[in-house]
Structure 1
Amino acid sequence: MASYSHNEKSKLPPKIKPLDVSVINKIAAGEIIVAPANALKELLENSIDAGSTSIDIVVKDGGLKLLQITDNGHGINREDLGILCERFTTSKISSFEDLTKIATYGFRGEALASISHIAHLTVTTRSKESDCAWRATYLDGKLVPARGGTTADPRPVAGRIGTQILVEDLFLNVPSRLRAFRSASDEYNRIADVVGRYAIHSEGIAFTCKKHGEAHHSLITTAQASTVDRIRTVYGAAIANELVKINVAEDKRLGLVGASGYVTNANFNAKKSYQPVLFINHRAVTCDPLKRALSQLYSAFLAKGGHSFTYLSLLIAPDKLDVNVHPTKREVRFLNEDDIIQRVCESVQHALGEVDTSRVFKTQSVLMAKPVDSPSPLSNAQKRTYEYNMVRTDAKERKITTMFRNPSSKSTSGVGTMNRVSHSPSDSPVPDDDELRINADIETAVDDQYEIVERARVNIRLHSVKQLREEVRQDLHKGLTDIFANHIFVGIVDENKRLAAIQCDVKLYLVDYAAVSYELFYQIGLSDFGNFGVIQLSPALSIRRLLKLAVADTDQMNNDQEIEICRIADQMITMRAMLLEYFSLDITAEGDIRSIPLLLKGYTPSVAKLPMLLYRLGRNVNWTNEKECFSTLLRELAIFYVPESLPIPAPVPLDVRVSSQRATSEDTDTLQPLDKRRSELKDEIEKCIFPTIRRRLLATKKLLGNVIEVAALPGLYKIFERC
Structure 2
Amino acid sequence: MADQKSSLRLINKLDNDLVKKICAGEAIHRPLNVVKELIENSLDAGSTMITVTLKDGGLDQIQIQDNGCGINKEDLKIVCDRFTTSKLKSLDDFNSLSTFGFRGEALASIAVAAQVTIISKTADSICAYKAEYVDGHLKNSSAPIVPIAANDGTMIQVDNLFYNMPTRKAALSSENQEYNFVQDLIVRYSLIFSGKCGFIFKKYNENSHVVNTKSSATLFQNIDQIFGKKISSNLLSFDIENEKLEFKIHGYFTKQNISLKQFTFILAINSRLVECETLKKSIKDLYKEFLMTDGHPFVIIWIEINPKNIDVNIHPNKNEVCFLHDDEIISKIIEFIREKLENKLDNDMIKNTSSTNMDISFIRNQTNDKKPIDNENSAGTSKISTLKLKLSDAAKQTNSPSQTIDNYQKSSQTLPVDEKCEDVPVKEIETLPRPASKPKSSNPNRICRIDSTIQRIQSYLQQEVSELGPRRRRRIELTSLDKLMKDLSSTIDLNLVEMLNESIYVGCLDENFLLIQHELDLIMLNMPKLNRELFYQIYLMGFGNFDYFRFKQPLSIRTLLSTYFEVNAPDMDPDVSTATIETMVKTIVCKKEMLDDYFSIRINKDDATIESLPVMIAKYEPNYIYLPEFIHGLATNIDWNHEKECFGTLGQELAKFYSYAPSISNTNDAEFRVWSDLVETQIYPRYKKLLSPTNQLSDGAIYVIANVTELYKVFERC
Normalising by structure 1, report the TM-score.
Answer: 0.51
Contact 1:64–1:168 (8 Å) recurs in 2: yes
Determine whether 1:352 maps to 2:347. no
User: Which residue number in structure 1 is paired with residue 518 of structure 2?
Assistant: 502
The total of aligned residue pairs comes to: 403
Give the superposition deviation at 1:265: 1.1
Determine whether 1:266 maps to 2:261. no
Query: What secondary structure does 1:276 align onto?
Result: strand
User: Which residue number in structure 1 is paired with residue 279 of structure 2?
Assistant: 290
Q: Distance in 2 between matches of 1:33 and 1:90?
A: 18
Q: Match of 1:123, as an amino acid?
A: I
Change (3 A) 1:716 1:140: closer
Give the superposition deviation at 1:235: 3.0
Change (3 A) 1:73 1:713: closer
1:316 corresponds to which of 305, 313, 326: 305
Alignment of 1:672-683 (within 5 A): none
User: Which residue number in structure 1 is paired with residue 61 of structure 2?
Assistant: 66
Contact 2:340–2:346 (8 Å) recurs in 1: no
Q: Match of 2:158, as an amino acid?
A: V
Determine whether 1:191 maps to 2:186. no
Query: What secondary structure does 2:220 align onto?
Result: helix
Q: Match of 1:227, as an amino acid?
A: L
Give the superposition deviation at 1:493: 6.9
Q: Distance in 1 between matches of 2:56 and 2:340?
A: 43
User: Which residue number in structure 2 is paired with residue 202 of structure 1?
Assistant: 193
User: Which residue number in structure 2 is paired with residue 610 of structure 1?
Assistant: none
User: Which residue number in structure 2 is paired with residue 222 of structure 1?
Assistant: 214
User: Which residue number in structure 2 is paired with residue 661 of structure 1?
Assistant: none
Give the superposition deviation at 1:58: 0.6
Determine whether 1:158 maps to 2:158. no
Give the superposition deviation at 1:332: 0.3
Q: Distance in 2 between matches of 1:47 and 1:509?
A: 57
1:127 corresponds to which of 118, 122, 128: 122
Identity %: 36
Alignment of 1:292-691 (within 5 A): 292-356=281-345, 364-365=350-351, 395=382, 399=386, 501-502=517-518
User: Which blocks of at least 5 consecutive residues in structure 1 are unaligned?
Assistant: 368-386, 403-482, 511-707
Q: Distance in 2 between matches of 1:214 and 1:78?
A: 32
1:35 corresponds to which of 30, 33, 37: 30
Q: Distance in 2 between matches of 1:224 and 1:366?
A: 29
Contact 1:281–1:315 (8 Å) recurs in 2: yes
Contact 2:352–2:505 (8 Å) recurs in 1: no
Give the superposition deviation at 1:231: 2.1
User: Which residue number in structure 2 is paired with residue 604 of structure 1?
Assistant: none
Query: What secondary structure does 1:135 align onto?
Result: strand
Query: What secondary structure does 2:286 align onto?
Result: helix
Give the superposition deviation at 1:243: 0.9
Q: Distance in 2 between matches of 1:508 and 1:153?
A: 75
Contact 2:131–2:145 (8 Å) recurs in 1: yes
Q: Distance in 1 between matches of 2:346 and 2:70?
A: 51
Change (3 A) 1:259 1:307: same
CA deviation profile, 1:101-125 (whole Å, cap 9, x unmatched)? 1001111111111000011100000
Q: Distance in 1 between matches of 2:287 and 2:311?
A: 29
Q: Match of 2:96, as an amino acid?
A: K
Give the superposition deviation at 1:57: 0.9
Determine whether 1:83 maps to 2:78. yes
- What is the alpha-carbon root mean square deviation over aligned residues? 3.8
1:252 corresponds to which of 236, 243, 263: 243
Contact 2:256–2:690 (8 Å) recurs in 1: no
Q: Distance in 2 between matches of 1:274 and 1:239?
A: 13
CA deviation profile, 1:204-232 (whole Å, cap 9, x unmatched)? 21111000011200011111211122223
Q: Which has the larger radius of gyration?
A: 1
Give the superposition deviation at 1:714: 6.0
User: Which blocks of at least 5 consecutive residues in structure 2 are unaligned?
Assistant: 354-373, 390-494, 510-514, 526-683, 697-718
Give the superposition deviation at 1:349: 2.1
Give the superposition deviation at 1:128: 0.7
Q: Distance in 2 between matches of 1:130 and 1:17?
A: 46
User: Which residue number in structure 1 is paired with residue 491 of structure 2?
Assistant: none
Change (3 A) 1:709 1:221: farther
Q: Distance in 1 between matches of 2:685 and 2:325?
A: 41
Q: Distance in 1 between matches of 2:127 and 2:16?
A: 35
Query: What secondary structure does 1:711 align onto?
Result: helix
Change (3 A) 1:509 1:235: farther
Determine whether 1:105 maps to 2:96. no
Q: Distance in 1 between matches of 2:218 and 2:5?
A: 73
Give the superposition deviation at 1:399: 4.6
Contact 1:45–1:105 (8 Å) recurs in 2: yes
CA deviation profile, 1:324-365 (whole Å, cap 9, x unmatched)? 00000010001111011111122222332344379xxx9744
Change (3 A) 1:46 1:395: closer
Q: Distance in 2 between matches of 1:103 and 1:55?
A: 20
1:46 corresponds to which of 31, 34, 41: 41
Contact 2:257–2:689 (8 Å) recurs in 1: no
Contact 1:259–1:315 (8 Å) recurs in 2: yes
Give the superposition deviation at 1:83: 0.5
Q: Match of 2:212, as an amino acid?
A: I
CA deviation profile, 1:134-172 (whole Å, cap 9, x unmatched)? 111112222112xxxx84421111100000000111111
Q: Distance in 1 between matches of 2:232 and 2:147?
A: 46
User: Which residue number in structure 2 is paired with residue 233 of structure 1?
Assistant: 225
Contact 1:508–1:709 (8 Å) recurs in 2: no
Q: Match of 1:348, as an amino acid?
A: I
Determine whether 1:180 maps to 2:171. yes
